[in-house]
Structure 1
Amino acid sequence: MSLACAIERRADALPMPEHPNRPPFLDFFAGSGLVGHALFPFFDTVWANDICAKKAAVFAANHDAPFELGSVTDVHGAALPSAILAWASFPCQDLSLAGKMGGIRAKRSGLVWEWLRVIDEMPQRPSILAVENVVGLISSHGGAHYRELHAALTKRGYKVGALLLDAVHWLPQSRPRIFVVAAEASLPIPLNLTVDGPTWAHSEAIQKAASGLPGWLWWKLPEPPKRALTLSQIVDFSLPCHDAATSRRNIDMIPLEHRRRLEKSGLRVVPGYKRMRRGVQVLELRFDDVAGCLRTPCGGSSRQYLVLRKGKEWRTRILSPREAARLMGAPDSYRLPGAFNDGYKAMGDAVAVPVAAFLAEHLLAPLVAVCHGKS
């Protein structure tokens, strides 16, 4: 079986719903549509939006759901179709540890409040809300940003809990993300969906932020199975590398300790990012056959490099958009129209497919079943 077929089978192995009438969900900040792809076995995307035209092109190439191109500030809740679930992967720039840390009231990350405005304007609010963002939502400023969001959700009549799910449990990419799930306080939440205290999915930062919060729930998820897929298995070794001179310049940027480890690693491919260290640009590598967290291509340190063994030599190149898609759990049939950077950005800003699918299968869908009286 080819690598492409193997990835296709893994992506298509998600369980299909028992009934063809999947409950409707709204996909805010939908980007390239990986959340809709992940939730397809459980939910029907009845509306999606994003402000980026290039991401919208990726969405349209893979989905036939209604898509509204534009800012969430121009969305009116009264005009949206009814839905039982609303998902929001709101911008992370002001909460990311790699950004300026402007906070949840800053221009980009502050769009979460526009999302809540839209929810408030709907004739009937969705019973379940799901929010995804970087760990800075929980860890920065002692959890103050999360607590502000939590208070806004509980004020609207929801009980809320947060989870830390790292894509590395499913995929060879280190990508920890916070998932906030809110359910209407009136819902009779099944006992098997909550626990009395923190679990494997509740980091110390989450525990600290949750301390003393009213309306807090410790959501329960089963531990995922051990990951078998490695970076070496998803890399396309047939793609061209940089020429010898460019590869040598990149390899010369690798710190001496990392170069020694590279020679002894026995790996065919090692990923890395260029970073500034004490005023000098270096190419820092990792040696666990796992990629670093994907980023958007908006600077010299944002593109992930691969150092590949070619016979007795090492060559370098940039991670390809298709490899980035594989690292997000998207099947090779997932179309990536546009230029190199368009596909790279579409994946770098996305939500890992198996993570969203895992959350949907074990928490979101069971909660919706309660709403439908199926528990």
Structure 2
Amino acid sequence: MMFTFIDLFAGIGGLRRGFEAAGGRCVFTSEWNKFAQKTYTANFHDGRPPQGDITATETSDIPDHDVLVAGFPCQPFSIAGVSKKNSLGRLHGFACETQGTLFFDVARILKDKKPAAFLLENVKNLRSHDSGRTFDVILRTLRDELGYNVSYRVIDAGHFLPQHRERIVIVGFREPVPFSWNDLKLPEKGQRRLKDILHPEDGSEPAEEAYTSGAAGTVNPKYTLSDKLWAYLQTYAAKHQAAGNGFGFGLVGPDDVARTLSARYYKDGSEILISRGPGKNPRRLTPRECARLMGYPDDFRIPVSDTQAYKQFGNSVAVPVFEHVARMMLPSIETLLSKKASPERNIEMAEAL
């Protein structure tokens, strides 16, 4: 059974790829960053370019949908007492507690559109953000205010990719369903290594002009750190190691697993530096290698500068994780939609197509 979904805070479409792989059809996208919009539009050709600022979008302008997916940014919530709000004649509940945050827009869309299910993604530390207050408000809003059956799990992309990347995944269903994280079966960690995503530089891969060249497909020298930057990173690491801080660069080889790729990678690449052998300066990953490290296929178009590409992949979800979770959610989504089956739903699906 086909289902429809909307893609909020979409970035470059990682969540969309996951839910399309499970049979979903995207009917609405929101992403405010113009560079991410460019990459998204270059890779999804359905005539529905991303809308801009979701905070300026009325829910009446968003199509009905079965599933809401969102990788929303996390912000602190300012919680005021309900009794005080009542005395002032003001709103309370999620309309008060989440107002001014981007989660508020997720909540208002769930309230007005009432999709059968949702998936939200965020950094692992969302649970402890603002001393746990942020996560408490989110769960209370989703469960108590909006009436969803909610559960969550932290998943490491290292089960699918050669990268340690933990993210919290929150799922909810409008009615009780047999969905359980206890049924989550993940591949063993460490099966993928960096050699699986690095340019081989041996002629076995066609050159990609922006990143590699020549018959061997040699990585462009511009990705190799300059003497000055390499010296700075080594000095910086030694200084903090002496102080017991543990800060430093991440020097890795083909048989290693990388640290988390971050949006700051464009600055110096320090968290993932590829060794080029003794006596040689290491290099950054190319944007294509970053795409592979996040689970994007080689036909994924990268129409932006290296700086923007590094930011985009550093902010992206790990695609295979959400392909896995979307397929795990699918039986429960289908159960809820079968209850909803009606001539009206058939019209909705026809309009979505």
* Aligned equivalents of 1:371, 1:147: Cα separation in 2: 27
> CA separation of 1:94/1:309 partners in 2, compared to 1, >3 Å: closer, same or farther?
farther
In structure 2, distance between residues paired with 1:244 and 1:359 = 37
Q: Retained in 2: the 8 A contact 1:247–1:316? A: no
User: What per-residue deviation string (whole Å, max 9, x for no partner) do you get for residues 181-234 of structure 1?
Assistant: 0111x34x12xx32xxxxxxxxxxxxxxxxxxxxxxx66312334442211331
Question: Please, what is the CA RMSD of the aligned residues?
Answer: 3.3
Give how far 1:118 is off: 2.5
What is residue 72 of structure 1 aligned with on the other side? 54
CA drift of 1:243 comes to 9.4
Q: Which has the higher strand share?
A: 1
Shift in alpha-carbon separation, 1:293–1:93, aligned structure 2, 3 A: farther
TM alignment of 1:338-349, pairs within 5 A: 338-349=304-315
SS at match of 1:86: strand
Q: Is 1:284 aligned to 2:249, yes or no?
A: yes
Q: Number of paired residues?
A: 298
**Cα distance in 1 for residues equivalent to 2:98 and 2:269:** 25
Question: Structure 1 residues 336, 92: CA separation in 2 closer, same or farther (over 3 Å shift)?
Answer: farther
SS at match of 1:32: coil
Cα offsets for 1:289-330 (capped at 9, x unmatched): 1122111148746664424224x5322222221111111000
Q: Answer with 1 or 2: which has the greater Rg.
A: 2
Aligned equivalents of 1:276, 1:112: Cα separation in 2: 38
Are 2:111 and 1:111 equivalent residues in the alignment? no
1:41 has 2:31 as partner: no
Unaligned runs of 5+ in 1: 1-18, 96-103, 195-217, 259-273
Choose between structure 1 and 2: higher helix proportion.
2
Q: Secondary structure at the match of 1:317?
A: coil
State whether structure 2 residue 117 is matched by structure 1 residue 132. no
Describe the superposition over 1:350-375 as per-residue Cα deviations: whole angstroms up to 9, x where unpaired.
Answer: 1111000010111x21211111339x
C-alpha displacement at 1:144, in angstroms?
Answer: 2.6
**CA distance change for structure 1 residues 179 and 249 in 2, over 3 Å: closer, same or farther?**
closer
| Residue of 219, 222, 228 corresponding to 2:185 | 222
Matched, 1:365 2:330: yes
In structure 2, the gaps of 5 or more residues are: 78-96, 202-217, 340-353
Residues 97-138 of structure 1 show CA distances to partners (whole Å, capped at 9, x for unaligned) of xxxxxxx9696xx2011221123233xx10101110011211
Matches within 5 A, 1:151-300: 151-154=140-143, 155-184=145-174, 186-187=175-176, 189-190=177-178, 193-194=179-180, 220-236=183-199, 237=201, 238-241=218-221, 246-247=226-227, 250=230, 253-254=233-234, 283-285=248-250, 289-297=256-264, 300=267
Q: Distance in 2 between matches of 1:326 and 1:355?
A: 14
User: In terms of mean alpha carbon deviation, does 78-87 or 112-121 score higher?
Assistant: 112-121
> 2:10 — aligned with what?
30
Q: Which moved more, 1:338-347 or 1:219-228?
A: 219-228
CA shift in 2, pair 1:247/1:163, >3 Å = same
Structure 1 residues 65-115: Cα deviation after superposition (integer angstroms, max 9, x where no partner)? 4233311111111221111100110014769xxxxxxxx9696xx201122
Q: What TM-score do the two structures reach when normalised by structure 1?
A: 0.70
**Correspondence 1:313-332 to 2 at 5 A:** 313-332=279-298
